[in-house]
A and B are shown apart, each in its own frame.
Chain A
Amino acid sequence: MDKFNTLTGVAAPMDMINIDTDKIIPKLHLRTIKRTGLGKVLFEEMRFETDGSEKPDFILNKEPYRNSKIIVAGDNFGCGSSREHAPWALLDFGIRCVISTSFADIFYNNCFKNGILPIRVTKDQLDALMADASDTENPELTVDLVNMEIKRPNGVTVPFELDAFRRECLLDGLDDIGLTMQKGDKIDGFEAQQNQAQPWLNSAPPA
């Protein structure tokens, strides 16, 4: 997983609530055995006509947003399914950070596992950032994970919060499996105790 430290880039304003995972990546594209290459179908139904041509009004089809690294979106971003293809598609497109007033739980978790930083802000902060991102002359934001703040184009900073462990993992690009495997003896201990108390949970499938 790539480390996340400071990110400066174009922020795309998506002033819409409930952007669900079907909008982020239509489910037909879940039929893949790889994690990469999904950027080209990110927001497919909003971004492309059925014949594959671009919808000119869609934000990521406009300059300077074609190279967005950040999305500023309305409430409840990522609601819908547990598909991790949603963060994979964002990442593959080049999005490393999404800013909203709230996120769906599963999507929020999945972001961290893929090196994407979801940032929760207040409604007032979101309105300000949405206005910043909508300024086509200078829609760049800087997200500083070390100091936990977003720097706006006018120099004002917006602080944000994040739990310490998640922050550490993003900063160091650490993966969860390695961390948990260090607790192997605790897992062994749990299993031994559970096998005593509820032996039926451990039974092999019936022949």
Chain B
Amino acid sequence: MAAPRTLFDKIWDAHLVDTTEDGLSILYADRLLIMEMQPQAFEGLRMAGLKVRCPDKVLGVMDHVIPTHPRDQAIEDPVARMMVEQAYKDYEEFGVELFDLVDKRQGIVHVIGPEQGFTLPGVTLFCGDSHTATHGAFGAFAMGVGTSEIEHILATQTLRSPKPKNMRVTVDGDLSIGCSGKDIILAIIGAIGTAGGTGHVIEFAGSAIRDLSMEGRMTVSNMTIEAGARAGLIAPDEKTFAYCEGRPRAPKGADWDRAIEYWKTLPTDEGAVFDKEVTLEAEKIAPQVTWGTNPEEVAPIDGVVPDPADAPNEDRRRMIQRSLDYMGLVPGTAMKDVAIDRAFIGSCTNSRIEDLEAAAAIARGRKVADGVEAMVVPGSGLIKDEAEARGLDKIFTEAGFDWREPGCSMCIAMNGDNIEPGQRCASTSNRNFEGRQGRDGRTHLASPAMVAAAAVTGRLTDVRELETRSIE
């Protein structure tokens, strides 16, 4: 009998075109998602006189630089306009399908892939954004790549890569009330560190992961890169199939039955060996919020800002001190005493319908605190429509949140949405790096419910202390 294999091994093996002498694999790319940030890839093709090998396996969208104001207003920023115009030209010239700004299907690249059924179990999927691991929630091998690799995939439909190792993070047990996929992944990153998964792909397993919805699983997988691993995977199951069924690009009819049959063979075999294993207990996870300038610098909401003096070594001590200086925080301060100026609900981590529901259940009937500016940016036009059909937009606007058009917005702050120097923002995004949301801006990452709670109280707040309201 063949040796037991992991989910990742199976996908890798099924896409191996060739191996080079020194262990690099040439891996077939089933899917490539592109956005307006990599015009240099098309520039490269043009210079080399190359074509896109399989335009049908490529899908283009605009999300990073586009404003979130109403779409009938022109893009004022000349650089953003230039990038959008270049994308139109490139996609047209190379025959790649594009969801443009007036298309309802437009949205954040990692939201629209699954939404369209472009993301499917068992596929290899690449994109020039490091949060491509999001798609791994479907049991796909999805990885962020650089511009040269995008160009390589466009030209050859393959990627050259060494095979990463297998790591498994198992989270068993029941998540407590007020916690979500975001809290799980922040707790994982806090436990293993921003380099804990370097060189590996992480399979997320265990009952707490299985119990999550597809949205929750996407949130977990989304932040795999913040633990240093380029890809995360979750075994496909009935929930995965139910999510995919009927989506525009999903298989239909007899193909659907064949696909399901194949997808069921994907989960990790009993006895497969992982190079690294980590286990967490879901019961022990409290709502998480970051205090520093990388996602590993995280604490439970009922915790305190750490003291650099307690650091295990000199490198860490300096790192923590630097983070606290940047964040303007004093050791020992209760996380719940940290006042905020801004709140952002959005990004490919937390802008799906379930995320908006969780935030709305806190926002309903409450008001954004005085002096706080809060915004909600849905992940796609389709999500925005659904939220509006259900009146979520009203809940938010009545509470004083801004309700915007879809895009990356303040996750990366390159579209004109940003926080001011020294401002403190509770954010559902995935990165709290220095300057990420605006120069000298301070970011605290948390779940949608936690950010909504911070918005209405004006400080980081334990969402378990607020009553959750019906949004029907």
Contact B319–A18 (Cβ < 8 Å)? yes
Residues of B near A31 (CB, < 8 A) are 65, 79-80, 83, 414
Most A Cβ at <10 Å: residue of B43, B82, B160, B252: B160
A26 on the B face (CB < 8 A): yes
Q: A20-B433, A45-B435 are in contact. Are A180 and B413 (CB under 8 A)?
A: no
CA distance A198 to B121 in the complex (A): 12
Q: A183-B26, A198-B259 are in contact. Are A80 and B151 (CB under 8 A)?
A: no
Question: B56 interface residue, CB < 8 Å from A?
Answer: yes
Nearest chain B residue, comparing its CB with the CB of A167: B22
Q: Which of A2-10, A89-97, A99-107 contacts B (4 or more CB under 8 A)?
A: A99-107
Chain A residues closer than 8 Å to B64, beta-carbon distance: 30
User: With A and B bound together, what is the CA distance between A56 and B259 in angstroms?
Assistant: 61
Separation of A107 and B418 alpha carbons in the complex (Å): 26
Asked if A109 and B146 make an inter-chain contact with CB atoms under 8 angstroms apart, the answer reads yes
**B37, B80, B129, B161, most chain A CB atoms within 10 A:** B37
Give which listed residue, A18, A75, A176, A186, contacts B294 with CB less than 8 A: A18
Residue of A nearest to B259 (CB): A200
A27→B413 contact, CB < 8 A: yes
CA distance A102 to B196 in the complex (A): 12
Contacts of A181 in B (CB 8 A): 155-156
Chain A 49-80 interface 0/1 with B at a Cβ cutoff of 8 Å (1 = within)? 01000000000000000000000001110011
Query: In the complex, which residue of chain B has the Cβ closest to the Cβ of A180?
Result: B156
* Residue on B nearest A197 in the bound complex, by CB: B262
Residue among A75, A80, A113, A183 making CB contact with B130, cutoff 8 Å: A80
Query: Taking A33-B40, A74-B315, A83-B146 as contacts, is the C-beta distance between A200 and B434 under 8 angstroms?
Result: no
Provide the bound-state CA to CA distance between A154 and B195, in Å. Answer: 33
How many Å lie between the Cα of A83 and that of B225 in the bound state?
A: 13
With an 8 A cutoff between CB atoms, is B439 at the interface? yes
B413 nearest CB neighbor, chain A only: A27
Known: A18-B319, A82-B128, A163-B23. A105 touches B198 (CB 8 A): yes
- 248-307 of chain B: CB within 8 A of chain A: 248-252, 255-256, 258-259, 262, 294
With both chains docked as a complex, state the minimum distance between the C-beta of B19 and any C-beta of chain A, in angstroms: 10
Q: Is B21 an interface residue (CB 8 A)?
A: yes
Q: A1 to B40, alpha carbons, bound, how many Å?
A: 15
Interface residues of A in 191-207 (CB under 8 A from B): 191, 194, 197-206
- Residue of A50, A113, A198, A199 most packed against chain B (CB within 10 A): A198
Chain A residues whose CB sits within 8 angstroms of the CB of B28 once the complex forms:
187, 190-191, 194
Query: In the complex, A55 Cα to B42 Cα: how many Å?
Result: 37
Interface residues of B in 194-240 (CB under 8 A from A): 194-195, 198-199, 228, 230
Task: Determine which of B24, B39, B50, B57 lies in contact with A33 in the assembled complex, contact meaning CB atoms within 8 Å.
Answer: B39
Q: How far is the CA of A190 from the CA of B57 in the complex (A)?
A: 15
Q: How far is the CA of A183 from the CA of B425 in the complex (A)?
A: 50
Cβ–Cβ contact A106 & B17, under 8 A: no
Contacts of B157 in A (CB 8 A): 187, 191
**Residues of chain A lying within 8 A (CB to CB) of residue B436:** 22, 27
CB neighbours (8 Å) of A33 from chain B are: 39-40, 43, 82-83, 86
A17: chain B residues at CB < 8 Å are 315, 319
With contact pairs A20-B294, A206-B248 given, residues A106 and B148 touching in the complex (Cβ less than 8 Å)? no
Q: What are the residues of chain A within 8 A of B123 when measuring CB–CB?
A: 201
The interface residues of chain A lying within 8 Å CB-to-CB of B230 are 105-106
Judge whether B431 and A203 touch: CB under 8 Å: no
What per-residue 1/0 map shows which CB atoms of B422-449 lie under 8 Å from chain A? 0000000001011110010000000000
Q: Which residues of B contact A198 (CB under 8 A)?
A: 122, 258-259, 262
Please encode chain A, from 124 to 146, with 1 for each CB lying within 8 Å of some chain B CB and 0 for all others: 00000000000000000000000
CB of A84 closer than 8 Å to a CB of B: yes
Q: Is B56 touching A203 in the complex (CB atoms < 8 A)?
A: yes
Asked whether B50 lies within 8 Å of A177 as measured between CB atoms, the reply is: yes
* CB neighbours of A20 from chain B (8 A): 294, 433
Interface string of A159-188 (1 = CB under 8 A from B): 000011100000000001100110100110
A40 to chain B, nearest CB (A): 16
Question: Is B100 on the interface with A (CB-CB < 8 A)?
Answer: no
> A157 within 8 Å of B by Cβ?
no
Nearest CB of chain A from residue B282's CB, rounded to whole Å = 27
Is there an interface contact between A177 and B431, defined as CB atoms closer than 8 Å? no
Report which of A23, A26, A82, A205 forms a contact with B145, defined as CB distance below 8 A: A82
B20 in contact (CB, < 8 A): yes
Q: Once the chains bind, are A79 and B17 in contact (CB under 8 Å)?
A: no
Inter-chain contact B148/A164, CB cutoff 8 Å: no
Which residues of A have CB within 8 Å of B255? 199-200
Chain B: CB-nearest residue to A183: B18
Let me know if B393 is at the binding interface, CB within 8 A. no
12 further A-B contacts with Cβ under 8 Å, apart from A31-B79, A45-B435, are A20-B433, A30-B414, A31-B83, A33-B82, A106-B145, A109-B161, A177-B50, A180-B155, A186-B18, A204-B56, A205-B56, A205-B248
B residues near A (Cβ < 8 Å) are 17-18, 20-24, 26, 28, 30, 37, 39-40, 43, 48, 50, 53, 56-57, 59, 64-65, 79-80, 82-83, 86, 97, 120, 122-123, 128-130, 144-149, 151-152, 155-158, 160-162, 164, 194-195, 198-199, 228, 230, 248-252, 255-256, 258-259, 262, 294, 315, 318-319, 412-414, 431, 433-436, 439
> Which of A's residues lie within 8 Å of B, judged by CB?
16-18, 20, 22-23, 26-28, 30-35, 45, 50, 74-76, 79-84, 102, 104-106, 109-110, 113-114, 163-165, 176-177, 180-181, 183, 186-187, 190-191, 194, 197-206
Q: What are the 9 tightest A-B residue pairs by CB atom distance, in nearest-first order?
A: A200-B251, A113-B148, A84-B146, A82-B144, A84-B147, A110-B146, A33-B39, A82-B130, A165-B22
